[in-house]
Structure 1
Amino acid sequence: MTTHFQLRRILLATLAASAMGAGAAYAEVKARVGHAMPESHPQAIAMNKFAELASTYTNGNVKVQAYHSAVLGSDEKQLQAVQAGTQDLYIGTLAPLSSRVKEVQVWDLPFMFRNSAEVYAVLDGASSKKIFEKIAPANLVGLTWTGMGFRNLSNSKHRVAKPEDVSGLKIRVMTNPVALDTWKTLGANATPMAFAEVFPALEIKALDGQENPLQHMWANKMQEVQKYITITNHVYTPSALVASKKFWDSLSPADKAGVQKAATEAGLLQRKLLDEGDSLAVENFKKAGVTVDSMPAAELARMQDKVKPVLAKFSPQIGDEFVKGFFAEIEQARKAQ
């Protein structure tokens, strides 16, 4: 006959087993985060920090391994893998999604921002949150927006001191219609190309130049294949840290909160490192023999005027109301400075 004491022991054992089973549902999760930048770039440093913080804030439940230098594939391939659930996390441009999420293209419109403070205000604002909402049907969970930097022009032919100097240069541009139209409007022979192909194309003179943030250029050794850099700050390129829905759904609520906290802090670190590093990048380029010039303000204003038709053309395609709200956030940030 089963005694009261035995029944109590059986009940306690059952409860303990149930608790262990519940814990097993959220067992240690191993995740991969990938991106295109080499280990010396602020984004790589930030992702290493993200991996460390994710483990700390989840009490060791989530172990993230960072993969740098596009070892998991190009931005486009990694985004596809995250959508499919075969890669857990990705940080970089969302430009490959622009055909299905038109709002992503707003970041490619030229000459919107005067400084990084305006950029960060918009990255933390309603428009950027709206883009994360828009990518959710693609099985992506937006964790945080961070920076990559203002884009500037480099080439191997000659100094660019006025808009006319761009004419005829064969410039690699991002594979999106806004960038393509912007540089065609300026008279360049604009050539869309995956970034992984850019260095060898510059090396064999199949391209004259490219445009990217300064620290991006330095980390990818543009000083070896480019002689001139012109500071234009024509477009700001942000980075988004996104998770696959499959990975996100495998986490407990507490672990989701921990990973989100780690993502936010790592994104802020990346912004800080970028803000601190541009002047050093200029010094490094000059020491390497690259001529670095800032385009004169009057000539930059002429360049801005030349590309106004690009804004007029693409605003309706992106969504007039969305673009209007985006510019309103910029103006609000500008007034607050």
Structure 2
Amino acid sequence: MHKLKTLVGACTVALVTLGTAATAQAATWRYAFEEAITDVQGVYATKFKEHIEANSDHNIQLFPYGTLGESADTMEQAQAGLLQFVDQSPGFTGSLIPEAQVFFIPYLLPETHEALDSFFRNSKAINEDFKEIYAQHGLELLKMFPEGEVVITTQEPFEKPADLNGVKIRVMTNPLLVESYKAFGATPTPLAWGEVYGGLQTNIIQGQENPLFWVESAKMYEVSDVITFTGHNNFTTAVMANKRFFDGLPEADQALIHEAMDVAFDHIMEYQKGLSERSLEKILEQKPEIEVVRLTEEQRAPFRAAAKEVEAKYIEMTGDSGKALLEQFKQDLEAATAE
């Protein structure tokens, strides 16, 4: 009997060892993002998944918005290691990583697709400086990419900051975005995304900002009467990995992840060409009466002037580290727009 127990124990150890070895070779990685599977982040995640699974034995489980809670929930899960990957806008990580709010200084990012592509590919601030900052919070920053020009949807048209006086605009829970809309003359109202449609429907808020594809996908046009192009920003998002997980991977897996991120970046930049125009067409098909306003450069001037106030607030919030990052950011932007 003793020999039998020993044999069974040895077999159990052998099976566990084999199972561990198999896990090291083939793993299931969990990846959550803030949008639907058919939206920009979902398209990016799907391309990443395809490349990983085509070039390894690993599997990627994708979790679109809402399946694991709100943005704060998925970030906590990523930091705890329950998720291996998370895609989250700096808008939601602004409280956790104040320096990331640089993306919400109005009129800072370039407006052309080519300049944006060059900036996100080559920026030292993004690809080196930010990586160090995110690492301090247990996150491996893998890729940042733009998602599209931000528009503001409201119930009434506006042409100048004074027109937004008293208008409650929903913003992400981001301190600098709050300052931006204060500078624009509005009343910024931080809300979780799940509350926005109902808030617009019941007039708790009267406006919100997002890229056009999201206005169309989330049906924000149903509870808005005006879409205004102000040119003030391009929505940015960041894909991160749990740092303990990433650092513990074999070099071959780390290299594969970086390769898949590059492939997904190329794909999403191509995918976005004409996306805003296609989204606007769909909105107008569903709601022909919605008013579309494009502010002229003259009308944008006071909003651009307000951006200087927001930039000063950013430096005040982030101190010397934020100031140095902003200076590098501007150098990178200058190089991208020069190209």
How high is the TM-score relative to the length of structure 1? Answer: 0.87
CA contact 1:111–1:234 (8 Å) conserved in 2: yes
Q: Could you list the runs of 5+ residues in structure 1 that have no partner in the other structure?
A: 1-16
Secondary structure of the corresponding residue to residue 161 of structure 1: coil
CA contact 2:141–2:238 (8 Å) conserved in 1: yes
RMSD: 2.1
Partner of 1:123: 120
Partner of 2:144: 145
Secondary structure of the corresponding residue to residue 198 of structure 1: helix
CA contact 2:95–2:175 (8 Å) conserved in 1: no
Secondary structure of the corresponding residue to residue 152 of structure 1: strand
Q: State the Cα distance separating 1:100 from its structure 2 match.
A: 4.3
Partner of 1:311: 311
Cα displacement string for residues 43-81 of structure 1 (whole angstroms, at most 9, x for unaligned residues): 2122112111111122x2x20011113311222211111
Cα displacement string for residues 108-150 of structure 1 (whole angstroms, at most 9, x for unaligned residues): 1111123233333332211012112211122211111122222
Name whichever of 180-189 and 317-326 sits farther off.
Answer: 317-326
Q: Write the distance in 1 (CA, Å) between the matches of 2:337 and 2:258.
A: 29
Partner of 1:323: 326
Q: Write the distance in 2 (CA, Å) between the matches of 1:171 and 1:33.
A: 30
Partner of 2:292: 292
Partner of 1:53: 51
Alignment partner of 1:72 is 2:68: yes
CA pair 186-27 structure 1, distance change in 2 beyond 3 A? same
Aligned AA (2:153): S
CA contact 1:147–1:239 (8 Å) conserved in 2: yes
Cα displacement string for residues 72-111 of structure 1 (whole angstroms, at most 9, x for unaligned residues): 1222211111011011111121334333433201111111
Question: Which has more radius of gyration?
Answer: 1
Name whichever of 267-276 and 27-36 sits farther off.
Answer: 267-276
Q: Write the distance in 1 (CA, Å) between the matches of 2:116 and 2:223.
A: 30
Q: State the Cα distance separating 1:250 from its structure 2 match.
A: 4.6
Percent identity between the two aligned chains: 25
CA contact 1:89–1:242 (8 Å) conserved in 2: yes
Question: Number of matched residues?
Answer: 316
Name whichever of 303-312 and 178-187 sits farther off.
Answer: 303-312
Name whichever of 80-89 and 309-318 sits farther off.
Answer: 309-318
Partner of 1:82: 78
CA contact 1:143–1:264 (8 Å) conserved in 2: no
Aligned residue runs from structure 1 range 1-337, under 5 A: 23-24=21-22, 26-58=24-56, 60=57, 62-115=58-111, 116-124=113-121, 125-129=123-127, 130-156=129-155, 158-287=156-285, 288-289=287-288, 290-318=290-318, 319-336=322-339
Q: Write the distance in 1 (CA, Å) between the matches of 2:327 and 2:246.
A: 32
Aligned AA (1:97): T
Secondary structure of the corresponding residue to residue 26 of structure 1: helix
